[in-house]
Structures are given as C-alpha cells and as structure tokens.
Structure 1
C-alpha cells in the first residue's frame, strides 16, 4: 500500500512529467488536424464542392478520429488490463505519431483525385485509434501511483497535456501563418506541423521508456480474460452515464478551439492569426489553472466539481456566442474563457473520478471507453452541427448556444446519477465503486 510519503517520491514526479509530456504530444497530433480542418483541408481535399460543403467535409474527416477513439480504448484497454498500463503508453504514442506524420505527406485532390480524401480518412482513423488508448494508460499510471488523498492532483498532470498539445499545435500554425503567404501556407506550410509530430513522438517514446508499471496493476491476481466483455455485461449503464456526462466538455472544447476558427475567419472576416491568438490565450489560462480545481476535488469530492462545471456551461453558452459574434478579440477571448473555465471544473477531476468508478481489473477499459464515447457524443459532431446551425442563423449563432445548452443539461443529468468516489466521503463498500 502507498502512503502520503509516496507523493514526495521523485519517481512520482518523473512519472507525472512523462505522463504530461506524452498526452501533450498525442493531443498535439490530434489537434493539429482539427486546426488544419478548420483552415485549409476543405479546399485542398474537397475542391469540387462549395466552400461551406468543403468545410463540412473536412470536419467529417475530423469526426472520424472520434469514432475511432472508443475502438482504440477497447483495443488498448484490453492490453492495459491484461498486460499492464505501461505498454499502452508506448504503443499508442507510436501509432498516433506515425499516422500524423503520414497526414503531412498525403498528396492533395489535384494530384491524386479521390484517393486523397480517402487516405486522409484512413490516417485520421488511425490517429483516433492511438489516442483512444493514450488517455487511459496515462491517467491510470498517475492515479494508481498516487495516494488516495492526492489522486485528483496527481492525475491532473496528464490533463494538462491536452491544453499544452493544443498550444503547441496552434503556435506552430500561428507562426507559419504569420511568416508565409496564404498561397505558401495552402501549398506546403500546413504540412509542417504534421511532420513535426515525428520529432515529438520520438521524444515521447524516450521519456516513457523508463516508466515503472503501476503498483496497483501488479497487485491484481485475477486479470479479466476479455475486459471489454465484462465491462459491457456488468457496467454498461456506468459506461453510458460517463459518456453522457463528458459529452458537454468535448462539445465546448471543440466549439471554442475548432468550429470558432472556421466561423470567425469565414463569416466574420477575422484574420487567422487573431483567432488563433484568442483561442491560444484561452487555453494557456485554463491549462495553467488546472491544479486548482484538482485540489478542490481532493478536498471536497469529484462529483460536486463536475456538477458545478456543467451548470457553468449552461449559464454561459449564450453569452459566449454573443461575444464571439462581435468579432472583437478581447470580447471573444472573454467569451471563450468563461466557457473553458466551466469545462475545467470537470476535466481537472475526471482523470481520477472515472478510474475510481471501476474495479482495478477493468478500469483501463471501462474508464477509457466511457471517456472516448463522450468524445463521440460531444466532439465528433459538434463542429459539423455548429457549422450547419450557424449557416442558417443570423450574425449571432444562437442555435450553437442552444445546442451547447442542451449538451450541458444532458451532462448535468448524467453526473447527477453518478456516485461520489472520494475515499473520505464515499458510501459503504456495498454501494460504492472501487477506489483502489
């Protein structure tokens, strides 16, 4: 068993740093595609349709990555529950990095015709497959090494990885946008961020090569033969509830970071660098603040923070879209920031919360499948739905606000049906999910 002294163990610090770096690299791979889909992939890979239809088609290939993520979580979850959390981190990073580099090498429609979007679709699927395994392995290594009283804090380090990955991806795109002409960026500049993924993946593999296996996994003596089958058979309701609970977080994040780029540049005439700067500033602030709600989650419980975050989204979505429609950088930033801070209340604690809902022998599969199904519900279709709603509205996309509000209410209801898992306040063992 682990006590509070484990927190001071330098190996835990190294593990947290490696988990953070790994999730940052993998989410860099995933986000750079979303940014490219919003800015350039439509005309390059779907030039035979209208600009709006091209954007929707590009967002369709974006959505395929989310569809693949639950499949990846089932595949890598099986490995994580049967063979250990550490192998998952290496294999998922290798797959995602290779697919991302390959995206940067795909010829456009003008060169190879319909084969171009088909290849894009396949590689995006492989990206999602790898990322589906990343999250579960990373957060479980952090959570299962940490003592019960600090699980949320230590598991929040991998959660800082996605904002860092987004910041890195968009910093590269912003730098290229500022130094290249539109023609140069459309010709070859958009490929550079994808090629850079190869260097990052190599660095991530080196960092993860020396990680120790989770001590909690090593204690398990009755590994599930087919973890996914046991999860579906015995915990299907829990999987559906966690997927619905997380849907609003994905919806908000990809509304802010992906759809808003296309909407503001195409409909409002805001320049690409201005929009990227607004979004990046928002992500920097929320990423830096991640440990604060994590500390609250350790002290007051996971569920109250999640309920508060959902309520915040419901209250702020209409002000956010109104501020976005102004096209003013400061007002857009404030709108994005309010929504992302509400999101942060949930995602700072969820890396500890989801694994605690499952017994250790199934949690790599159960937690990852629920997490990534939430991505399908909230992330895959959000840019497509938001684009369609905004197209048929006025200057202020109120339909997008209504959509996000509905997602917030869905997630609020799902969190209300989930139990608390913080050890100090959990109910009797008979009614409480495993907190080991």
Structure 2
C-alpha cells in the first residue's frame, strides 16, 4: 500500500485562538441545529408519527415503522458523506458546512408542513421518508465537517477541547428540542396531533438562519489551505481513502458504535416508557432536558481532560460507564421510579456519554491526514452510524412485554459500548501529543 505524503513543506504557522474560538462557535451552532432537528424527529416518531403517518395498523407495528424512519436517514449517509467529503477536501470545509446547514434546516421546516396520511393518503409517509433522507444527506457531512474545521483551527494541545464544542452543540440541540416538544406535549391530544407537533419543526428555521450568518464569516484553516496548494492534494480523496486507509475505515465502523447510546436513550426509551405506560412522556422529556443541559456544561471539561491525559483513558472510561448505567436506567424506567430515572439518566448521559460524545468524532478525524480528512472521517463514521440509526428499530423488535422485557435492549446497548471501548484500547492510536499537520501520517497508510 502507498503511504500518504509526509510533512516536508515549510512549517505552518500555529493557529490563532481567535479563529479557533470562531470555528468552535460556528460548529456549536451548526451542531445545535443538526441535533435539534434529529431529536425532534426522534421525539415525534416516538410520540405522534405512528398516529399521523401510520394510522389504522397494529400499534406495535406502527411503532416499529415509525422508529424505522429514523434509521432511513442513516442509510443514505455513507454515500452522501463520500460526495460531501470529496468537495470538503477539494473545495473547502466552510462551503460544505454552509450547504449542510441550509439543507438540514429546509428539510426540517418542510416536515413541519407535511399534510397527514388522512389528508393525502400514502403520499404523506413517502414524503416524510424523502425529507428524512434529505436530513440524512445533510447530517452526513455536518458533524464530521464541523469537527474537522474546529480541530484544524485549534492549537495542537487544545484540539479535543475545541472539537468538543461540536457535540456540546449536539447536547444543546437536544435540550432545545426537548423543551420544544415538552411544551407541545402538554397540549390536548387533538391539538397536538393536528398542528401542535409542527411547531418545533417550523421553529428550526431560526437556528438555521443564525448558523448561516456565522459560518459564512468563518475562514479556512491554514493547515487545510496549505494542502490545497500541494499538487498531491489533487488526487481524488475517496480514492485515497479506499486505497490507503481501508483498514482505518473498518476500524472506525467498529469504534463508532458508541453512538447507539444516544438513539436508544433519546428515541427508544421515550417510546418504551410511553407504550408500556411506565413513565409519562412529559417526565421522560424532562429527563432528556436535564441530562442534555448538564452535558453542555461538562463535555468541554472532558475535552480539556483529554488534552491533558489523552483521549483513550477518557473515552474508554465513558464507554464502560455507559455499559453499566444503561441497565440501571432501564430498570428505573421499568419500575416507574421517577427520581431514580433522573439519577440513572444523569449517570448514563451526563457522565458516561458526556465523556465519549465530545471525543469520538475528534478521535475519528485525527485518524486521517489533512488532505483526505473530511472524506475519510465522513465515509467511515457514517458507515458506522447505520447501526445507530436502526438501533431504535432493533430495540423495538427485541423488547419484550412485561417485567424485565427491557433486558435485551440493555444488553444490546452495553455490548456496543464494550465493542467501542475494546477497539479504542487495542486499535486506536493516542494522538493528544501529535502535531496537527502530522495526524494520520506517522504510521503511514492503514494505521
């Protein structure tokens, strides 16, 4: 296999704190929109979509179909990631991030405008799926591109901290989405199903507008502009990824299953609690609000810790915490013990997942060299996220009625966390002391 180019060009000036902060803010706002949009879709799928778009069928099957529309958005992501990543590496990170932001906001707004199945028949769920696909296309390049531009702008010894703001934006988006759906869920059922559910979708245009203004003003990182001037950067990025880094792609696919925790917690557990009448939907949304709001505060702290002691110790500890806490969380939900649901939810999401969530995307981006970073990280991570997208569907299929019926879901989630921790321990290189321009180069291809 042919190794990537080595750093023989003149030294690149260290990034400035001003540009690093600007990139972090732009990434934070964009990620807030992405996860706001994705979470309100997950909440709507759990609470109302089965009644609006899949009426007249068995409730259990309707729930599975509703959950499946979450996964559909992930199916198109690997292909879209290849296209968006290509232009991100060849044209610029900023242009692609503006594109993903606008398309995500547009798709979410249009979902809020969809007529129900009762009005237009089978066209309603078809249009819902198509708009979900557009959301998936946008998401394919959003978080990876935001992480890429954030860490490339950041000082080498603070990459984890600045990159952590991408998925801290995710926690902020989940907080906003949960608040929005908590408010509309308090409406009378008839009003909720007729027009109330649309409000959170239509409101996404406000976040999209703010993110568009910020991202338009963000410059490219010098380390990326240096690669654009290098003739070797003209080689097709996807070709380089497939030829020289296919083992890294496989590694990332296994490494990335940690994200299953998020879709199980935010989408499936809400559906499970409501369907089994264990915990009111408003309480479950409140749990999500509390855990996500706490994560906004603690995730950057774990980024700082990862810059000081390394990515792997923090990431692995977070996965192990999630693997244990998911059992306690579902047990608390199954017993309808609301105080314990809050406590275990905080341990699961604001401690364990808050250690993993801000570091995972940055660790993936750091596995690839600058000239193909966007393509490599986008393609590999999106392939890995297919399981995350269908995790609520899998959970809905394996959950059992009655006491202890949640156990297969907890085992599935914990197994994903343990796989991710094992891959990080054995196969992922520690990079917290590696210069940004040397990332992905030191061990050559397929490292």
Q: TM-score range by the shorter chain?
A: over 0.9
1:275 equivalent in alignment to 2:287: no
Secondary structure of 1:106's aligned partner = coil
Q: Deviations over 1:356-389 (max 9, x none)?
A: 2111001001112222222212x21211121222
- Structure 1 partner of 2:319: 310
Take 1:170 and 1:433, find their aligned partners in 2: how far apart are those partners? 43
Secondary structure of 1:352's aligned partner = helix
- Structure 1 partner of 2:302: 293
Shift of 1:15: 2.4
| Aligned 1:37-52 pairs, distance under 5 A | 37-52=45-60
1:197 equivalent in alignment to 2:175: no
Shift of 1:430: 4.4
- Structure 2 partner of 1:107: 115
- Structure 1 partner of 2:408: 399
Q: Deviations over 1:269-299 (max 9, x none)?
A: 4222111101111111122100111111111
Take 1:342 and 1:31, find their aligned partners in 2: how far apart are those partners? 20
Shift of 1:152: 0.6
Which is further off, 407-416 or 236-245? 407-416
Change over 3 Å in CA distance of 1:290–1:427 after alignment to 2: closer
Take 2:265 and 2:318, find their aligned partners in 1: how far apart are those partners? 16
Shift of 1:231: 0.8
- Structure 2 partner of 1:15: 23
| Aligned 1:347-366 pairs, distance under 5 A | 347-366=357-376
TM-score, with structure 2 as normaliser = 0.91
1:183 equivalent in alignment to 2:190: yes
Secondary structure of 1:123's aligned partner = helix
**Mind listing any 5+ residue stretches in structure 1 that lack a counterpart?**
none
Take 2:331 and 2:280, find their aligned partners in 1: how far apart are those partners? 19
Change over 3 Å in CA distance of 1:207–1:241 after alignment to 2: same
Q: Deviations over 1:135-188 (max 9, x none)?
A: 12211111101111111111111121111111111111111222x211100111
Q: Deviations over 1:70-91 (max 9, x none)?
A: 2222121011100011101111
Take 1:433 and 1:228, find their aligned partners in 2: how far apart are those partners? 14
> Contact 1:358/1:433 (CA < 8 Å) preserved in 2?
no
1:339 equivalent in alignment to 2:348: yes
- Structure 1 partner of 2:130: 122
1:171 equivalent in alignment to 2:183: no
1:145 equivalent in alignment to 2:153: yes
> Contact 2:24/2:162 (CA < 8 Å) preserved in 1?
yes
1:387 equivalent in alignment to 2:408: no
Say which structure, 1 or 2, has more relative contact order (CA 8 Å, 6+ apart).
2
> Contact 1:42/1:55 (CA < 8 Å) preserved in 2?
yes
- Structure 1 partner of 2:5: none
Secondary structure of 1:290's aligned partner = helix
